[in-house]
Structure 1
Amino acid sequence: MEFTTDNSIFLFAILLVVGVITTKFSTRFGLPSLVLFIVVGMVLSHFVYYDNAFLTQLFGILALIVILFEGGLQTKWTDVRKVAVPSLTLATLGVVLTTVVIGVFAKYILGVSWLEGMLFGAIVGSTDAAAVFAVLGNKNIKRRLTSVLEAESGTNDPMAVFLTISLIQLIHAPESNGLFTLIVAFLWQMGFGLLMGLIMGRVAVWSINRVNLDSSGLYPVLALAFAIFTYSSTALLYGSGLLAVYVMALWMGNSDLTYRHSIFRFNEGFAWMMQILMFIILGLLVFPAELIAVTWQGIALSILLMFVARPIGVFISTSFMKFSVKEKVFISWAGLRGAVPIVLATYPLIAGLENGQLFFNVVFFVVFISALVQGSSISPLANKLGLSGGDKVSVPHSLELVSMGKTNNEIIEIHIEEESSVVGKELHLLLLPEDTLITAVIRGEKLITPRGNTRLCVGDILYVLISKPQRERVKKVFMSMKEVEEHETLEA
């Protein structure tokens, strides 16, 4: 197909429409949507010739920024804090162990050198945030386990990127990097990435809350701009940009944010669009005929990764933590591979390594089998192990939050804590400003229409329409007396 402006835009529209429709079929057939996105790309490769590894890598990184940003926004710090140690251990020690084990297998199965075997292991060593967020997002699994997996997938990409780039440099110039140099580089990347994430998170929240834009639709764009700037500025200074983006988004998502719902809704939809296009483009980059030549190697390494390398990494890195054997088995099986390994597989291609194309084809095989087999069996396995029935509370889809356009109003979300002074009070007794409207009360899975005699309970979630100048005054009404005193002290 000859690319012109019009037929390129037409193809772009077709990809989006097919991608969205594909999600409906994936739900019906119990398959992860990313599998069908990849299939769509592979089918299109028969009609569209595409082999630009650099463009694929560029788009893949941009997509990962958006996906990690959206995932961080949706993650509650209270959940992450409880599982920080196991998640970070899996994201570091777990990735290294998985890399070494599968690297040994790759050395003999693919007939490559030891460094190249370790490079393959590094490429497939991390779980994928896009795959994990997409597959676990709507599963009824214990919240502690999903928190571990989501936090791990959001923080283990930097380790995989570091290992991949370092091993490529070692292959090109074996004497260029010593062990001490690698350790210093790793500490700098992770430490500086964490620091930049915290700094940019605070800057982004402060800016969004202070800047008075003409349209509420600009706030989500500003938030996304901060995410992209966080990645690029960190990466330019040789830090881990992906880690910085996730930490920055985690800070933003757990802060008091103006137009919070507009930002969340925009990024949720945009992350889906980037995920659809990313997996389709990755499918386009693969030539199905070339996969036949690596069929047995791909199947063998997929099986070894799922049943040997990943479990070894999980069981050793969590050996002194309070996880049952069943929970460790589930964490091992839910370590999905997705876009990140395929994006990392473009690095050897761009670097011109002799086995770059071989690695890309085998990695694609591994990712496809992982998504197909593991992604479609997560729920049945959780049920069989007795790990389903999580405590995750979802907001009913019947509640649609409306953007307030150019008005000076917004909808804020308020959680009624146990210490709140309004617990047990009826709504008509609350001392709220006259221009305040409680639009909905969420109690568990129920949507309650607020009335004057509606009595508030611990755990209720209120959606309140207010004018922006009354924001702090309204929030104080729902605080505990201790929180009010602390808030007034900070203001003073």
Structure 2
Amino acid sequence: MLSTLGVAVTALLTALFCHFALGFSVLESFLTGAVISSTDAASVFSILRSKKLGLRNHTASLLEVESGSNDPASYMLTVIALSLMGVGGGGAIPWMIFAQVVFGLGLGAAVAGLSILVLRRLTLSDGLDTIFVVAAALLSFALPAVVGGNGYLGAYLAGILIGNAKIPHKAALVHFFDGLTGLAQILIFFLLGLLSFPRQLPAVFLPALAIMVFLTFVARPAAVFLLLAPFRCGVRQCLLVSWAGLRGAASIVFAIMAVASGAAIGYDLFHIVFCIALLSVAVQGSLLPLAARKLDMVDSAESVSRTFNDYQDQRQLHLTRFPIGAGHPWVGRTIGECELPADALVVMLRRGSENVIPNGDTAIQAGDLMVLSTPLYEDDDGVSLREVPVAEHGDWIGRPIKELGIPAEVLIVLVRRADGTTVVPKGGTVLQQGDMLVVNEWEET
């Protein structure tokens, strides 16, 4: 709702303000409202992530879905405005709206469906799946654009469908596209630097400030409260969503498109939109963490990294094998009597050739192989591992680990033998020729 009707309401109210308060013509006012009607996901989540602000009531996910999906609607309004101004002809606007939506959705879904089928059915070698998905992204934009559809809508829908499908190597794909997104942002801001002239900003500062204030305190809140009220969203949530409607790179790109289209625009649209984006990020962005706290919308239990854009590998549990020897103190006790960590779960007991699915009353026997599930560790604290070849330390070969004289703050996590087997080390583990030690961060002197 916010990404479609919200964009339309924001554009309409802004157009009325530009026409009656700033004296722009009707079509120029509509063009201005269309260009700046979308919000910028990158700006919002850069702020939320840097401050580690989790928001209540799934507000973070709401903001990211809205910010990511309202660009196609803003683009369509911009194309309609340019068509009314004589760029491309204005007589086919009903057909244009139909084609933009139907072809964009239909072809985007078709490309996504075919891509998912190929990724699931064919075994692509490492790297080829990334190339294939890049090609699918380009195709999902190009096909709708060729037949008059909304390429942005098609690409966005294809990304949604592929991103939520169970496909191989998804984590690697997402990390690649995260890097590609960063590169695209660098190129966009480099382009903005080439096109902008700082000396022209003072001339457009007052109208840009007026539009930004109206957007922030009138147009955006009106759209948010109007469309979220039926869903019984609280006043504080609506206020925060209203304040988080930052304008960013997408609006500036649409302004560049409008200026480059050759439409007769009687004012400096590019620098007005550029100035609005700067003011929005500087004022709204700086005060967003404070607004979230003042509105009591910060939830420490929520993680802003677990949102629509930030994919985490679906296998977040790590399985660990734990052999129970004859002298182990757990022999003869039930699982419920064992002092396991709170986040560990016994998922299976391997007893000879039999697999036992345990419960709290299952008794442990000598010789059992216990399989534990524990949360997968995520390296958020800068802990790093490195490999140390035993061959580089010839005097270590044939000696137990406890005699090596390794610094006390260094832990050998794993010993990888030359034959590929791994050993969880103890003080008495004897190192062999060809061993590779995996240790926590250690700078040798």
- Normalised by the shorter chain, which TM-score bucket? 0.5 to 0.7
CA distance in 1, matches of 2:88, 2:164: 44
Q: How does 1:68-467 map to 2 (within 5 A)?
A: 89-137=1-49, 138-142=52-56, 144-172=58-86, 176-177=90-91, 182-214=93-125, 216-355=126-265, 358-389=268-299, 391-393=301-303, 413-414=314-315, 424-426=345-347, 429=350, 453=370, 455-456=372-373
The unaligned stretches of length 5 or more in structure 2 are 307-311, 318-343, 353-368, 379-445
CA gap 1:427/1:262 in 2 versus in 1, 3 angstroms: farther
More helix by share: 1
Higher relative contact order (CA 8 A, sep 6+): 1
Identity %: 31
- SS of the aligned residue for 2:315 comes to strand
The unaligned stretches of length 5 or more in structure 1 are 1-88, 397-410, 417-422, 432-451, 464-492
Structure 1 residue 280: Cα displacement: 2.8
- SS of the aligned residue for 1:354 comes to coil
CA gap 1:173/1:336 in 2 versus in 1, 3 angstroms: closer
8 Å CA contact 1:109, 1:297 repeated in 2: no
- SS of the aligned residue for 1:319 comes to helix
CA distance in 2, matches of 1:129, 1:245: 16
Structure 1 residue 356: Cα displacement: 6.3
Deviations 1:109-141 (A, max 9, x none): 543211111110111011123334434455322
Greater CA deviation, 112-121 or 141-150?
141-150
CA gap 1:258/1:226 in 2 versus in 1, 3 angstroms: same
Structure 1 residue 395: Cα displacement: 7.9
Q: Choose 1 or 2 for highest CA Rg.
A: 2
Once superposed, what is the RMSD of the aligned Cα atoms? 3.2
Q: Given the two structures, how large is their TM-score scaled by the length of structure 1?
A: 0.61
Structure 1 residue 362: Cα displacement: 0.6
CA gap 1:174/1:322 in 2 versus in 1, 3 angstroms: same
CA gap 1:237/1:131 in 2 versus in 1, 3 angstroms: farther
Q: Which amino acid aligns with 1:150?
A: E
- SS of the aligned residue for 1:172 comes to coil
CA distance in 1, matches of 2:351, 2:66: 42
CA distance in 1, matches of 2:28, 2:376: 53
CA distance in 1, matches of 2:102, 2:371: 49
CA distance in 2, matches of 1:192, 1:143: 34
Match in the other structure for 2:407: none
Q: Which amino acid aligns with 1:204?
A: S
Q: Which amino acid aligns with 2:85?
A: I
Structure 1 residue 202: Cα displacement: 1.9
Q: Given the two structures, how large is their TM-score scaled by the length of structure 2?
A: 0.67
Q: Which amino acid aligns with 2:71?
A: D
Match in the other structure for 1:472: none
CA gap 1:119/1:428 in 2 versus in 1, 3 angstroms: same
CA distance in 1, matches of 2:290, 2:313: 37
Structure 1 residue 156: Cα displacement: 1.3
